[in-house]
Chain A
Amino acid sequence: MSSTQKVSTYCYQCVNGPDMLTVEVKDGVATTVTPNFDARGLHPADGKVCVKPYGLVQKIYNPNRLLKPLKRTNPKKGRDQDPGWVEIEWEEALDTIAGRLNAIRAESLVDEQGYPRVAFTTGGAATPYFYMGTFASFLAAWGPVDQSLGAGGTVKCYHTEHVYGELWHRAFTVCPDTPRCEYIVSFGNNIDASGGVTSVRRHADARARGIKRVQIEPHLSITGASASEWIPIRPKTDPAFLYAMLHVLLHERPLTDLDVHFLKVRTGSPYLIGPNGFFVRDPASKKPLIWDARKQRAVPFDTADADPALLGSFNVDGLEQGADGKTWEHQGITVTTAFEHTRTLVKPHTPEWATAICDVPVATIRRIANEFVDHARIGETIEFEGRTLPFRPVAVMLGKGVNNGWGAFECVWARTVLMTLVGGLEVPGGLLGSTVHITGMDFDRMASVVPHPDGFLDYPFNPTDKEQWAAQPQVRHGHTTLIPIIGGGLTSQLMGSTVLTWMRLQGRAADSWGKPKPPDLWFVYRCNPNISFSETDKMGETMATFPYTVAFSYTQDETNHFADLVLPEAIDLESTQLIRLGGTHYFEQFWDSQGWVLRQPVVKPQGDARDFTWISTELAKRTGLLEAYNTMINMGAAGLPLKTDKYDFSLDVTRAHSVEETWDAVCRAASADVTDGQADDGLAYFKEKGFRVKPFPKINWYLYPRMEDLNLRFELPYQERILRIGQELSARLHEQGVTWWDKQLHEYEALPNWKDLNKLWSDAYEKAYGIRAADYPFWLLTARSMQYAWGGNVSLQMIREVAANVAGHDGIMINSKVAESMGIEQGDRIEVTSPVGVTSGRALLRQGVRPDTIVMVGQFGHWKTPYAKDLDMPSLNNLVPMNMDLVDGTGSAVDAVLVKIKKLGSKK
């Protein structure tokens, strides 16, 4: 008798999840994925899922899948070496790992250089944490773990937005208030390919009601396709366009056209700046001073009834506090406001100045700046959950390629200042932050709002003063030593300069710190840094030097080719985990509800694939860490605490618990969490119902009400703290003889000066590689593949089949006319060469790409992964240099590269 059932689970293959889905199972075999229609009206996209989870069924049954633990028998590692894999039992695999871990523990958890002996690398912007069960509890029980060996983060992410966004408005990621927004200026923000189901749905709805989106980008992207207008800007010139917009607002429009009230009371615009660049402060209270236009004198910023001046020069007395406690007392000096300083900064940056840089007509730049102001509806309000809030339906968005590396600080700063000029930051209709990582827990952005004495949001900068500065790096990229804005929290390691780690391991950076030893044991999970990072050939050579690598793997791939042990995990549709749902999270994940959703085995794991919670518990048992591991789970490392003053489902810490026991306790705690302690339903409930939620107040989508309640200001436009921290950091590093970070220190500016990025790149290449930059006339860029990004699905036939319908998945996009002038026809093989690498692929002639730009979609270039290695898809990654001159002050770089091209052969 045939039986068919539907099983509820979640997809979190990208940060825009989790999305709920159901899988139909026929006679024990998973057959089809469908949306979870029980989530209609609850999930912002009505329970739908994107194309990626449809690949999960094939993912289970892919014959290339690894289903037994494998151990390496060839001690020699190299791309040309056969690892000599031999199948072993889990018992042997676990004993081997435990043996190594116990030996490390017996010696010391950190090596003689002070770096953790155990390292862990994962990808997908930490989404793997929602597939690895309780492994985070095991790592927490273990102690110091180096997570600085990145898989592409800080190069492939919105890095500068992450850190500065979080400083300014608790915005690790940002988005427009799309349900209400009416005008978006998007600098390459590819939301329709990268924003997940909710974003796609919200933007489609917005288009249906007439939103206008101007897409400014070198290549007409998926998102550009649905924009109202495409403006093909020259690569890496976005700061010039943004500064010209600032110029129009600050020099061509009267002040009364801007949101003067917002600038006066919700920003640092009226703060007075002293001759040394620091705020002029009240000598007694040390509070920054503003000029009260009503009383015609300087008063502390929080003086009631003051009318803060934005424009003008003023004669004041006051105190400046500089770096390392240095102070200056001033009597009768003439100063002006942060707002005036900003006007001065952008004065030369007219649209006429920007036009030649950006290759965009003057009139277009000016028109967009003016349209932005005109659509902002300054002065209008909206009633929102019983509160009157400003209504500013405009937003400026930035894409990934402008959001990291040099120039990103200028872009993120200019964008956020533009939003303050129209009062559109964190208000209905405007630009919103969505989650936090550095300042607090990702699910509770509001709780991270802590006031700073200067009237801004407080921020956990890593200390730069003499007493507290972390002179000794704790992990291989030294984020607490080098990058104060990264903080020192749970996820900060992931945001340090991962380029620096790999370059140090290769002995070509941070000379005065010496070359670090590789970790004694490296865990790699759900990532393939030897494909997804830069200079991948060199990356592989570095991996080959690692003494012992344990890769949790789906198939053989380019990273586990260098591993010593390869372990098959139970994948998405085979294993158990409960995770948070809803609230506010990455990008456009704003929900009216919040709660918990279960991933459960839809079918039994294939072969010897094992649930990660089982793997973690076994490792804890064998390393004598069971009690600490269980304690971590009880404390909340598996999602939420198992014991509070309202409930207690904590696990007995003295014994091992099965996967089901563990998640039953977590499910019970989750039930209590959403019912204020009333319910205690466990795993069985979630297996049947799938998810459980409670309402989430929509007013918490916006930070403005909380800022208003606490009378706080957004720390814009003037970065006094950044200036001070930069000077202190410079002093600390120089005291240690560290000069190799000097270029990065230049970024610590109170107001970011515009830089010629095309020149910066050319100069860096000419210096490092002895080439003539003019010989590399094209920018090679990449673009998001929604079908592949973060899915770990490059070996799935069905994904390949459907992705091939989208341009760019079978070749290198090049402007048709340029190709014609070079004798290149559709389908011809072309060679693309950068100063550090070369690749080739089929030419895909397109009109929607600038003549000076070529595009390689996604991340391919596989040479080992079954199926993927036969796709003949080039990757830009091996062509992108790791180069310290291209790492910015926040530790990030960008995956764009100057290249030359030539025709290799014709289609036949």
Chain B
Amino acid sequence: MTRYVMVADLNRCVGCQTCTAACKHTNATPPGVQWRKVLDVEMGEYPNVDRLFMPVGCQHCSDPPCMEVCPSTATGQRKDGIVTIDYDICIGCSYCAVACPYQARYKVEEARFAYGETPTATEAIRFDEGRIGVAQKCTFCSDRVDAGLAKGLKPGIDPEASPACANACIANALTFGDLEDPESNVSKLLTENTWFRMHEELGTDPGFFYLWNEK
């Protein structure tokens, strides 16, 4: 069995948004849509303040609330754990966006471009009508994973088989890999470090782990 997950090392992340930008490039998301982004979080009261940067996006839960509420079966789950949306089936009801405790889903009602109504040359050739009026979110770059696997490459190790955000991360804060493989990069990180998951109490079993050492 395989379960692809992401491990974000909060002790490494500097909030630079390179992953955010790389995701936007690779997935051609329109302005305002960020399948991957990094939150700037402040905790405590002056002068005892902590600031940290937290990469967020679809958590690829093993028990995804978005899938439960989807009336059209557009939201699905692959055998490798990646939560998917079939844009052809999605009716754009947004139940999933409401149900997702991670605010990971976006819906764009009409074509949106960087500089008004006219797309730039890049936006023109990358525009996907199929994403209008439907829910969209991070796919863990499943197309890259699949293309890489087809070439015999290892997701999380070979860039061609890995999500763009992990490839781009300049701090090596994002690591993608197979949780079910005890020898994998992600399994080792989770064995050797303390970690948490967001909203663990909701029982969604998210596939997004945060390494965090208390100061």
Q: Which residue of A lies closest to B160 (CB)?
A: A37
Candidates B16, B123, B173; contact of A51 at CB < 8 Å:
B16
A801 touches B32 (CB 8 A): yes
Name the B residues within 8 Å of A787 (CB-CB): 16-17
Alpha-carbon distance A510/B215, docked complex (angstroms): 53
- B83 close to A (CB within 8 Å): no
Q: For chain B, which range describes its interface: under 10, 10 to 19, 20 to 34, or 35 or more residues? A: 35 or more
**Is A797 in the interface zone, CB < 8 Å from B?**
yes
For residue B175, give the distance in angstroms from its CB to the closest CB of chain A.
12
The answer for the CA separation of A223 and B22 in the assembled complex, in Å, is 22
B122 and A57 form a contact (CB under 8 A):
yes
Q: Name B22's contact: one of A34, A204, A222 (CB within 8 Å).
A: A34
Contacts of B164 in A (CB 8 A): 34
Decide yes or no whether B20 CB sits under 8 A from chain A.
Answer: yes
A906 adjacent to chain B (CB < 8 Å) = no
Residue from A32, A224, A228, A798 with most neighbouring chain B CB atoms (10 Å): A32
Shortest beta-carbon distance from B48 to chain A in Å: 9
Among B46, B164, B167, B215: residue with most chain A CB under 10 A: B46
Q: Would you call A230 an interface residue if the criterion is a C-beta within 8 Å of the partner chain's C-beta atoms?
A: yes
Known: A29-B122, A797-B31, A847-B44. A208 touches B11 (CB 8 A): yes
Contacting pair A805 B121 (CB below 8 A):
no
Give the residues in chain B near A806, CB-CB below 8 Å. 15, 17, 40
Q: Is A102 located at the chain interface by the 8 A CB criterion?
A: no
Looking at A55, A230, A801, the one whose CB has the most chain B CB atoms below 10 A away is A801
Q: Do A54 and B22 touch (CB < 8 A)?
A: yes
In the complex, identify which listed stretch (B49-57, B88-96, B180-188) lies at the interface while the others stay far away. B49-57
Question: Contacting B17 at CB < 8 Å: which of A51, A201, A204, A867?
Answer: A51
Contacts of A49 in B (CB 8 A): 18, 168, 170
Interface centre among B37, B118, B122, B169 (most CB of A within 10 A): B122
Nearest CB in chain A: distance from B166 CB, A: 11
* B residues 9-52 touching A (CB-CB < 8 Å): 9, 11-12, 14-18, 20-22, 24-26, 28, 31-32, 34, 37-40, 42, 44-47, 49-52
Could you say which of B28, B34, B115 contacts A62, with CB atoms under 8 Å apart? B115
A32:B26 contact, CB within 8 angstroms: yes
Is the CB of A816 closer than 8 A to any CB of chain B?
yes
CA distance in complex: A193, B51 (Å): 14
Alpha-carbon separation in the docked complex, A808 to B46 (Å) = 17
A200 at the interface (CB under 8 A from B): yes
A807 — which chain B residues lie within 8 A by C-beta?
40, 42
Q: Which of A181-201 contact B (CB under 8 A)?
A: 192-193, 197, 200-201
- Known contacts A34-B168, A58-B114; A226 and B14 CB within 8 A of each other: yes
A849 touches B51 (CB 8 A): no
A734 interface residue (CB < 8 Å to B) = no
B91 CB → nearest A CB, Å: 28
Say whether A204 contacts B173, CB under 8 Å: yes
- A717 contacts chain B at the CB level, 8 A cutoff: no
State whether A63 touches B118 (Cβ < 8 A). Answer: yes
Q: Which residues of B contact A867 (CB under 8 A)?
A: 115
Known: A26-B125, A204-B12, A222-B15. A35 touches B168 (CB 8 A): yes
B170 and A45 contact, CB distance less than 8 A: yes
A-side interface mostly: mixed
| CB 8 Å contact bits of A851-869 with B (1 = contact, 0 = none) | 1000000000000000100
Report if A35-B159 is in contact (Cβ < 8 Å); known contacts: A802-B21, A847-B49.
yes
Q: How far is the CA of A417 from the CA of B12 in the complex (A)?
A: 31
> Nearest chain B CB to A214's CB is how many angstroms away?
12
Q: Which of A26, A60, A225 has the most CB of B within 10 A?
A: A225
Interface residues in A63-106 (C-beta closer than 8 Å to B): 63-64
Report Cα–Cα, A479/B52, bound state, in Å.
44
- Contact (Cβ within 8 A) A798 B21: yes
Instruction: Verify if B98 is at the interface (C-beta below 8 Å from A).
Output: no
Q: Is the CB of B120 within 8 A of A63?
A: yes
The answer to whether B18 and A51 have CB atoms under 8 Å apart is yes
CB distance from B39 to the nearest CB of A (A): 7
Report the bound CA distance from A826 to B11 in whole Å.
Answer: 28
**Contact of B147 with A by CB under 8 A:** no
CB distance from A410 to the nearest CB of B (A): 25
Say whether A27 faces chain B, with CB atoms less than 8 Å apart: yes
The CA-CA distance from A223 to B45 in the complex, in Å, is: 19
Closest residue on chain A to residue B171 by CB atoms: A204
Tell me, rounded to whole Å, the shortest Cβ–Cβ distance linking A742 to chain B: 40
- Is there an interface contact between A798 and B171, defined as CB atoms closer than 8 Å? no
A574 nearest CB across to chain B (Å): 13
Contact of B14 among A204, A220, A230 (CB under 8 A): A204
Answer yes or no: B199 CB below 8 A from chain A CBs. Answer: no
- The CA-CA distance from A51 to B49 in the complex, in Å, is 27
The CA-CA distance from A694 to B89 in the complex, in Å, is 55
Which chain B residue lies CB-closest to A30? B122
Closest to A795 in B: B115
B18 to chain A: closest residue by CB: A51
Chain A residue at minimal CB-CB distance from B53: A225
Are the C-beta atoms of A805 and B39 separated by less than 8 Å? Answer: yes
Do B215 and A55 have beta carbons less than 8 Å apart?
no
Given A57-B122, A232-B46, A807-B42, CB of A201 within 8 Å of CB of B171: yes
Q: Which residues of B sit under 8 angstroms from A205, Cβ to Cβ?
A: 172
Q: Give Cα distance in the complex from A802 to B121, angstroms.
A: 21
Enumerate chain A residues within 8 angstroms of B26, measured Cβ to Cβ.
32, 34
Question: Are A33 and B25 CB-contacts (below 8 A) given A805-B38, A816-B46, A848-B42?
Answer: yes
Whether B126 is near chain A, meaning CB under 8 Å from some CB there, is yes
Closest chain-A Cβ to B26's Cβ sits at a distance in Å of 6
Q: Is the CB of A848 within 8 A of B17?
A: no
What distance in Å separates the Cβ of B196 from its nearest Cβ neighbour in chain A? 18
B20:A802 contact, CB within 8 angstroms = yes
Task: Report A-chain residues with C-beta under 8 Å of the C-beta of B14.
Answer: 192-193, 200, 204, 222-223, 225-226
Task: Enumerate chain B residues within 8 angstroms of A63, measured Cβ to Cβ.
Answer: 115-116, 118, 120
**Docked complex Cα distance between A48 and B28 (Å):** 20
Complex contacts, A37 vs chain B, CB 8 Å: 159, 167
Please report which residues of chain B, range 85-121, place their CB below 8 angstroms from some CB of chain A when the two chains form the complex.
114-116, 118, 120-121
> How far, in angstroms, from A366 to B205 measured CA to CA in the complex?
47
Q: Which of B12, B34, B123 contacts A207 (CB 8 A)?
A: B12
List the B side residues contacting A248 at CB < 8 Å.
none
Residues of A within 8 A of B28 (CB): 31
How close is B20's CB to chain A, nearest CB, in angstroms? 5
Near B by CB (< 8 A), chain A positions 585-639 give none
Give A229 to B42 CA distance when docked, in angstroms: 14
Say yes or no: is A846 at the interface (Cβ < 8 Å to chain B): yes
Closest-CB distance, A868 to chain B (whole angstroms): 13
Asked if A208 contacts B12 (CB within 8 A), the reply is: yes
A367 at the interface (CB under 8 A from B): no
Residues of A157-186 contacting chain B, CB below 8 A: none
Residue of B nearest to A797 (CB): B114
A311 to B59 CA separation, bound complex (whole angstroms)? 64
A817 at the B interface (CB under 8 A): yes
Residues on the A chain within 8 Å of B42, using CB: 220, 807, 846-848
Across-interface contacts of A805 in B (CB, < 8 A):
15, 17, 20, 34, 37-40
Most chain A C-beta atoms within 10 Å of own C-beta, residue among B21, B39, B170, B171: B170
Could you list 20 A-B pairs, sorted by A, with CB under 8 Å? A26-B125, A32-B26, A33-B22, A37-B159, A50-B16, A50-B170, A51-B17, A192-B14, A192-B16, A193-B14, A197-B170, A204-B11, A204-B12, A232-B46, A797-B31, A802-B21, A803-B17, A805-B20, A846-B42, A848-B51
5 nearest CB pairs, A to B:
A54-B21, A61-B120, A225-B51, A797-B114, A204-B171
| A residues in contact (CB < 8 Å) with B | 26-27, 29-35, 37, 45, 48-51, 54-55, 57-58, 60-64, 192-193, 197, 200-201, 204-205, 207-208, 220, 222-226, 228-230, 232, 786-787, 797-798, 801-803, 805-807, 815-817, 846-851, 867
Apart from the given pairs A225-B15, A806-B17, 17 other A-B contacts in the complex at a CB distance below 8 Å: A31-B25, A32-B25, A32-B26, A33-B22, A35-B168, A37-B167, A54-B24, A62-B120, A204-B11, A204-B12, A205-B172, A208-B12, A223-B14, A797-B114, A801-B24, A816-B46, A847-B49
